[in-house]
Chains A and B, each alone.
Chain A
Amino acid sequence: MQMETPAERLRSLLPQVFAPQPKEGELFVKLQVVPQVIVSIPLVSIAEVSLVMASEITPIPNMPDSVLGLFNTKGYVFWLIDLAYFLGFSSTLSRVKSYEMVMVRAIPKQHSDDATPTTNSSEQLIGLAVHHIQGSFRMPASDIQTSDAGMKSRITSELLAYVDAYILNTQKPLPILNIEKMKTRLIELGQAT
Chain B
Amino acid sequence: MGASHSHDPPKVETLFDQCFNEGIGVYSTVLSTSFLPEGYIVSNPTFSESQNWNFPDSSNPKSGRSPEKIFKLLQASTLRQRLLMLLLPTTVMPLLVASALGFLTTQRQAQTKALALLQDEGVLASDIATQFVEDEAKRIGLVGLSAEVSQGLQQANVIVAQEQLGQKTIEALEAEFADTKLLRPNPSLNQYLQSVATTEGLSEIFFTDSRGLNVAFSNPTSDFVQRDEEWWTAAQTNGFHTAVEFDDSAGVFGISFSGALINPTSGAFQGVMKLVVPAEIFDERLTALTELSLGGFQTVQLLDIRDTQEVYAFKTVDASGVNTGQNQEALGGTTITQIASILSEAVERPDASTESVQQAIQQQTNVTSLEVERRETSGNSDLSALFLHNNQYYNLTTVPGLDWVVSTSVDAATVNRAGFNLLGIFAGTTAVLGAAAIAVLIYLAQQLSTPLNTLTATAEQVTAGELDTRAQLSGTSEMKTLAHGFNQLLDRIQGLLQQQQQAADDQRIQRESLENEISVLMEEVGSAADGDLTVRAQLSAGDIGIVADLFNAIIENLRDTTIQVKESTEKVAQSLDSNEAEVRQLATQAESDVRSLQNMMMALEKMAGSIQSVADRAKQSSALTQDNYATVQVSSESMENTVASILNLRSTVAETAKKIKRLGESAQKISQAVSLIDEIALKTNLLAVNASVEASRAGELGQGFTAVAEQVGALAEQSARATKEIAQIVAAIQTETQEVVIAIETGTAQVVDSTQYVELTKQQLNNILTKSEEINALMEQISDSTVDQIQSSEAVNALMQQIADASKSRLERSMQMAQSIQETAQVSKNLQTSVESFKVETN
Which residues of B have CB within 8 Å of A17?
A: 704-705, 707-708
Among A20, A43, A51, the residue within 8 A (CB) of B692 is A43
Which residues of B have CB within 8 Å of A47?
A: 693
Does A56 touch B at the CB level, under 8 Å?
no
Among A21, A132, A134, the most chain B Cβ lie within 10 Å of the Cβ of A134
- Mark out the residues of chain B between 214 and 250 whose CB falls within 8 Å of any chain A CB in the assembled complex: none
Among B683, B689, B703, the residue within 8 A (CB) of A135 is B689
B629 to chain A, nearest CB (A): 77
A14 to chain B, nearest CB (A): 6
**Complex CA–CA separation, A117 to B703 (angstroms):** 16
Does B710 touch A at the CB level, under 8 Å?
yes
Among A21, A44, A135, the residue within 8 A (CB) of B688 is A135
**Complex CA–CA separation, A22 to B697 (angstroms):** 15
Q: Contact between A20 and B703 (Cβ–Cβ < 8 Å)? A: yes
Q: Contact between A136 and B708 (Cβ–Cβ < 8 Å)? A: no
**Complex CA–CA separation, A24 to B286 (angstroms):** 204
Which residues of A have CB within 8 Å of B699?
A: 116
Q: Contact between A48 and B683 (Cβ–Cβ < 8 Å)? A: no
Does A139 touch B at the CB level, under 8 Å?
no
A168 to chain B, nearest CB (A): 20
Q: Contact between B692 and A136 (Cβ–Cβ < 8 Å)? A: yes
Does A19 touch B at the CB level, under 8 Å?
yes
Among A22, A49, A135, the residue within 8 A (CB) of B717 is A135
A163 to chain B, nearest CB (A): 21
Interface residues as binary, A1-37 with B (CB distance below 8 Å gives 1, 0 otherwise): 0000000000000101111111100010100000000
Q: Contact between B713 and A135 (Cβ–Cβ < 8 Å)? A: yes
Which residues of B have CB within 8 Å of A14?
A: 704, 708
Nearest CB to that of A20 among chain B residues? B704
Which residues of B have CB within 8 Å of A22?
A: 703
Q: Contact between A136 and B717 (Cβ–Cβ < 8 Å)? A: no
Q: Contact between B693 and A43 (Cβ–Cβ < 8 Å)? A: yes
A7 to chain B, nearest CB (A): 14
Interface residues as binary, B342-381 with A (CB distance below 8 Å gives 1, 0 otherwise): 0000000000000000000000000000000000000000
A92 to chain B, nearest CB (A): 15
Q: Contact between B697 and A117 (Cβ–Cβ < 8 Å)? A: yes
Q: Contact between A100 and B686 (Cβ–Cβ < 8 Å)? A: yes
Q: Contact between B710 and A51 (Cβ–Cβ < 8 Å)? A: no
Interface size on A, residues (CB 8 A): 29
Nearest CB to that of B713 among chain A residues? A135
Interface residues as binary, B678-704 with A (CB distance below 8 Å gives 1, 0 otherwise): 000011011011101100110111011
Which residues of A have CB within 8 Å of B683?
A: 51
Among B689, B692, B703, B709, the most chain A Cβ lie within 10 Å of the Cβ of B689
Among B696, B700, B708, the residue within 8 A (CB) of A44 is B696
Q: Contact between B696 and A27 (Cβ–Cβ < 8 Å)? A: yes
A135-B714, A135-B717 known; A51 and B703 CB under 8 Å? Answer: no
A48-B690, A51-B686, A136-B689 known; A43 and B696 CB under 8 Å? Answer: yes
Does B706 touch A at the CB level, under 8 Å?
yes
Does A128 touch B at the CB level, under 8 Å?
no
**Complex CA–CA separation, A22 to B705 (angstroms):** 12
Among B690, B692, B703, B708, the most chain A Cβ lie within 10 Å of the Cβ of B692
B703 to chain A, nearest CB (A): 4
Among B693, B707, B717, the residue within 8 A (CB) of A20 is B707
Which residues of B have CB within 8 Å of A46?
A: 689, 693
Among B697, B710, B716, the residue within 8 A (CB) of A137 is B710
Nearest CB to that of B691 among chain A residues? A136
Which residues of A have CB within 8 Å of B701?
A: 20
Q: Contact between B704 and A49 (Cβ–Cβ < 8 Å)? A: no
B689 to chain A, nearest CB (A): 4
Q: Contact between A48 and B704 (Cβ–Cβ < 8 Å)? A: no
Which residues of B have CB within 8 Å of A138?
A: 710
Nearest CB to that of B714 among chain A residues? A135
B679 to chain A, nearest CB (A): 9
- Mark out the residues of chain A between 39 and 84 whose CB falls within 8 Å of any chain B CB in the assembled complex: 43-44, 46-51
B709 to chain A, nearest CB (A): 7
Q: Contact between B704 and A136 (Cβ–Cβ < 8 Å)? A: no
Among A23, A29, A48, A133, the residue within 8 A (CB) of B703 is A23
Interface residues as binary, B490-516 with A (CB distance below 8 Å gives 1, 0 otherwise): 000000000000000000000000000
Which residues of A have CB within 8 Å of B685?
A: 133-135
Nearest CB to that of A17 among chain B residues? B704
A16-B704, A48-B690, A49-B689 known; A100 and B682 CB under 8 Å? Answer: yes
Nearest CB to that of A115 among chain B residues? B699
A51-B683, A100-B682, A116-B699 known; A29 and B689 CB under 8 Å? Answer: yes
Q: Contact between B693 and A21 (Cβ–Cβ < 8 Å)? A: no
Nearest CB to that of B694 among chain A residues? A48
Q: Contact between A136 and B710 (Cβ–Cβ < 8 Å)? A: yes
**Complex CA–CA separation, A11 to B701 (angstroms):** 14
**Complex CA–CA separation, A51 to B714 (angstroms):** 19
**Complex CA–CA separation, A47 to B700 (angstroms):** 18
Among A51, A135, A137, the most chain B Cβ lie within 10 Å of the Cβ of A135
Q: Contact between B707 and A16 (Cβ–Cβ < 8 Å)? A: yes
**Complex CA–CA separation, A54 to B690 (angstroms):** 21
Among A18, A49, A137, the residue within 8 A (CB) of B686 is A49
Interface residues as binary, B71-85 with A (CB distance below 8 Å gives 1, 0 otherwise): 000000000000000
Interface residues as binary, B704-745 with A (CB distance below 8 Å gives 1, 0 otherwise): 111111100110110000000000000000000000000000
Q: Contact between A16 and B686 (Cβ–Cβ < 8 Å)? A: no
Nearest CB to that of A134 among chain B residues? B717
A51-B682, A100-B682, A100-B686 known; A27 and B703 CB under 8 Å? Answer: no
**Complex CA–CA separation, A79 to B713 (angstroms):** 27
A80 to chain B, nearest CB (A): 16
A135 to chain B, nearest CB (A): 4
**Complex CA–CA separation, A159 to B492 (angstroms):** 201
B708 to chain A, nearest CB (A): 6
Nearest CB to that of A43 among chain B residues? B696
**Complex CA–CA separation, A137 to B709 (angstroms):** 10
Which residues of A have CB within 8 Å of B696?
A: 27, 43-44
**Complex CA–CA separation, A100 to B705 (angstroms):** 23
A70 to chain B, nearest CB (A): 21
Which residues of A have CB within 8 Å of B716?
A: 135
Which residues of B have CB within 8 Å of A135?
A: 685, 688-689, 710, 713-714, 716-717
A25 to chain B, nearest CB (A): 11
Among B693, B704, B710, the residue within 8 A (CB) of A18 is B704
Q: Contact between A133 and B686 (Cβ–Cβ < 8 Å)? A: yes
Which residues of B have CB within 8 Å of A100?
A: 682, 686
Nearest CB to that of B706 among chain A residues? A27
- Mark out the residues of chain B between 601 and 634 whose CB falls within 8 Å of any chain A CB in the assembled complex: none
A48-B693, A49-B690, A134-B717 known; A19 and B710 CB under 8 Å? Answer: no
**Complex CA–CA separation, A135 to B707 (angstroms):** 13
Q: Contact between B708 and A16 (Cβ–Cβ < 8 Å)? A: yes
**Complex CA–CA separation, A51 to B703 (angstroms):** 25
Which residues of A have CB within 8 Å of B690?
A: 48-50
Nearest CB to that of B703 among chain A residues? A20
**Complex CA–CA separation, A29 to B713 (angstroms):** 11
Nearest CB to that of B709 among chain A residues? A136
A44-B696, A49-B693 known; A136 and B707 CB under 8 Å? Answer: no
Which residues of A have CB within 8 Å of B686?
A: 49-51, 100, 133
Which residues of B have CB within 8 Å of A44?
A: 696
Which residues of A have CB within 8 Å of B708?
A: 14, 16-17
Q: List 10 A-B contacts (CB under 8 A).
A: A16-B707, A16-B708, A21-B707, A49-B693, A51-B686, A100-B682, A117-B697, A135-B713, A136-B710, A137-B710
Given contacts A47-B693, A48-B693, 10 further A-B contacts (CB under 8 A): A16-B707, A17-B705, A20-B701, A20-B703, A21-B704, A29-B692, A43-B693, A100-B682, A136-B709, A136-B710
Binding site for B on A (CB under 8 A): 14, 16-23, 27, 29, 43-44, 46-51, 100, 116-117, 132-138
Binding site for A on B (CB under 8 A): 682-683, 685-686, 688-690, 692-693, 696-697, 699-701, 703-710, 713-714, 716-717
Closest 3 CB pairs of A and B: A20-B704, A17-B704, A135-B713
